[in-house]
Structure 1
Amino acid sequence: MRSERTIIHVDMDCFYAAVERLDNPDLNGKAVIVGADPHGRGVVSACSYEARVYGVHSAMPIREAKKRCPHGVFVPVNMHRYEKMSGHIMDILNSFTDKTEQVSVDEAFLDVTECFKLFGNGAQIGRMIKERVLTQTGLVASVGVAPCKFVSKIASDLGKPDGFVVVAPDEVLTFLHPLPVGKLWGVGKQTEKLLHALNLKTIGQVHACPVEVLCAKISDSSAQFLKELAAGMDTRTVETLGEAKSMSEERTFQEDVGDKQLLRHVLLEQTDEVMRRLREENMKCRTAYLIFRNTDFTKHTRRTTLNRPTDSSNEIFACIEKLLGQEDFYGKKVRLIGMGVTHFGDDQEPQLDLFGQKKTEEVKTKSIDAARDIIAQKFGKDTLKRAALTPQADHTRP
C-alpha cells in the first residue's frame, strides 16, 4: 500500500466550444461563443480562447460579448450533445480506475494511487489519459497530477491550454507558495480583500502567517482551512458516489419574468424533454433540482431527493413544481429558469403494492411516457405535446 496519494485532475479545454468545433471544423481558429442569441438577453455559457482575448467569459451578458467580440461566431447551447461527449470522456477515465469523481460535465478527479502496477506512475497515467481522450474523442484535456485534489486542480488550470503539470510531493510548497492568494479554494473577492488588508498577497505568505492573525479577519474554521491548503494539506478523498452526473435544461428569457404560471409552463416542457432523454438512456434518477438566475445574474439551485429512483415525467415535475412554489426568488424577477435530474440508478421495475400488484397510476403513467417516447423517436420530439403546453392551455394542470 502506497502512503502517498496520487490524484489526477482532468479538465477539458473550452469544452462546449471544442465540441462545436469537432462537429463543425469551419469554426477552428475562430472566436466561438456558446450561449444565447447575441441579440437577446441571455448569457455566455462558454467560449474559445480566441474569444477570451477580447474579454469574453462565461456568465457575461451575451450583448456585452457581442460588443467586445463583434466578429465572434455565436452558437446555441447543445447540452444533449455535450452530455453525450462527457459520458464518453468519463468512460475513458473510468477505464483507468473506479475511483473517479465527476465534478461537472467536463471535469473530474481520479485517485490512481493503486493503479501504478497496471499503468505506471502518476505522470505516465496522466499522459495516457491525455492521449486516449484526444485519440478517441478529438478533444484536448488539461491534466494536473499531484498528491491531493487541491494541488492537482491548480496544476491542471495553470497548464492550460493543453496543459500537463506534475507536482511531486516534495515540490508542493515550492509550487504553491509563489501563487496569488486568490488561487486558494474558498477565497473569493471579499476574502481576497481581507487577506490583502493583512498584506498577504501570496499563498506562501498565508502559510507563514500566524493563524491568530487570520482569525482576526476571517472565521476560525476558514482560517484553519486556508492554513492547511497553504501548507499543501488536503485530505479530502475522491468521492466516487457524488451527484455530479446530471441531465438538465435551461432557458434565458428575452424579458425578466415574475409570472410563476409562465415559469411553471416552461419547467413542464423542460421536464418532459429531460425525462425523455433519461428514458432513452434506460436510466432512472432520484434527485430533481430547480435552477434560476436573478436579474443580478446570481444563479441558485434548489433540490429534492425521492426515496427511490424514477423515470416518470409527472413524478419529477411534481418535485420541480413543489420547489417552484416554495421559492420567492429573493423578491426579484427571473432571467433564467431551468431544471435537471441527477443521482442516477439502474433501470428498475416499479415498486409493488401490498398485494404484489404494480400501482395502477404508475403503470398508466409509464405507458403514457412510453407511447410519447415512441412518437418522439419516429416523428420528432415536437410532434406530440401536452395539452398544458398549447397556447390556449389552462396551465393549472400538467
Structure 2
Amino acid sequence: MSTHDTIPDLEERLRAALSARAELVQPEDLEPLAAPVVELRPAWRSPWVLLATAAVLLLVLGVVAQGIGGRPRSDDDLAPQPDAPRVTLPADVGRDWATGLESTPARVDLDGDGTKERVRFLAEDNGTFDGRVRLQTTLSSTGDEAYGVADVASTIGLVGEGVIDADGDGDQELVVYDPSLEDGLAGAPLVFDHRDGLLVQAVADEPDLLRRGDVQVPGSETAFYDRYRTYQYWIDGGTLYSGQSRDSFARAGDYSTQLPGTLLDTWAWRLDEDGVLHPEPAGCKEQVFDVQDCGPGSGDQVPDLTPATDAVGADEVDGVDGDALRAATDVPDPRVAVVQPESMFLDGEALVVTSATDPTRVQLLVQREDGIVALDPVGEVPLGDTDDNRTWLTAAGQVVTATPVEDGTWQLWYWHAVRGDRVVALPAVTVGQNRLP
C-alpha cells in the first residue's frame, strides 16, 4: 500500500475522533468568559478621535481665516533672522589684569537694592593699550562676584559716563564711554546690564544711530570736499538718548560750513529681555553748546552776511607792495578790502580784490615770501558778482557767494583755500531773499 492510499483513511479516523470529543461536551460544561463582553462603539465616539478631529478643524479654520483676513505667510516668517543682533556672554578672563591706566571706578546699583556697587576696570596688558577690559565688582545684596569683559578701542582712562534703567526693572545699567579710532568719530557708549552674576554688554539694534562724532555721508566726496552728519548721545533722567543731525554739512580738511544750533532727530533707547537696545523716536532737539529742546526759531541760525564795504587802492595796503599787487592781479582798477578774509588759512596776507570800474570782478590773492599769488577758483560756482551769482566779503571776513534755488531761496557758498594755490566754494545753508544784503 502506498502513502497516497493511507491519506483518506487517516482523514476519516481524525473526523471520527473529533466528533466523539464534541459529543462529550454538554451545555452545563460551558461557562461565561472571565471578562465581561464590552460593547463596541463606533470609532467616531472615541474621545481621542474626537480631540484629534477638533484639532484638525481648528487648524483648518486658522488657515482659512488667514487666507481671508491675514497676510500670506512666507518662508521668511519662520526662518531664523541671521542679521538680528545677539548678545555674547563674557568669558571669565582677566582676573589678574591690573587697573587700567588713568581709569576711575564707576558707581552703579547693579542689583537694585539701593546700594551702588563699585565697578573696577582691569585692562589687558598687550603693550598697545587697546584690546579687552574686565569690569569687576561685588554685589552688595549677596556678596557675590559679578564681572564682564569687553573689547575697547583704548584701555586708558576708562570711566563710567553715567547710569540708566533702559529696561525699567529697577536696577541700573552702566554706560561706559569707548573712544573710536576712526576719523571724525569720537566714540560710542558701551552699556552693561547685570544678569545672573554677569555684566553683559548690550548690543544696539541700529548701532549707526548710537554714536558720537562727525560721520561722512556715503557718496558725498568730491575732488575738494565731502559732507558729513553730526551724531551725539547723552544721558538724561536715567534714559540713554542719541541724535543725528537733520542736515549734512560740507567740509574741506578742518574747515566746515556747520553753524551753531544744529537740529537733531533723536531717539530714546530701550533694553529688551534679550539684551538688545532698541531706538524709539524722541522728537527734535537742538545742539548748541549742549542739547536742548527745540523751540520757536530753532535751526534758523544764519551767519552775519553784512558786507564789508571799506576798500583802498593798491598802493594803500599796509605791508604790501602796490606794484607787486598790480602785477599779480588782472582786475582793472583794483580795490582791496580792508577786512582780511579769515577762511584762507594761509601764511601771510590774504586779500580780496574788486574793481572800481567792473563790479562783476572778484579775485583772491595771498602774499608769499616770493611775492603775491592769485588763487585759482575751482569747484561748482564761479568767483564773480552777477545777478545770479552774487559774491561779497562779509564784515566777519567770510567770502560768500549766493546762487538762486528753484524754490525761491538762495544757496550760500563759502570760499576756502585748498592746496595748489586754489580756492573752492563749499555749500552752506540756504536763506530767503530777504536775508541777502
TM-score band, normalised by the shorter chain? under 0.3
Larger Cα-atom Rg = 2
Of structures 1 and 2, the one scoring higher in RCO (CA 8 A, sep 6+) is: 1
- Normalising by structure 1, what TM-score? 0.21
Higher normalized strand content (fraction of residues):
2
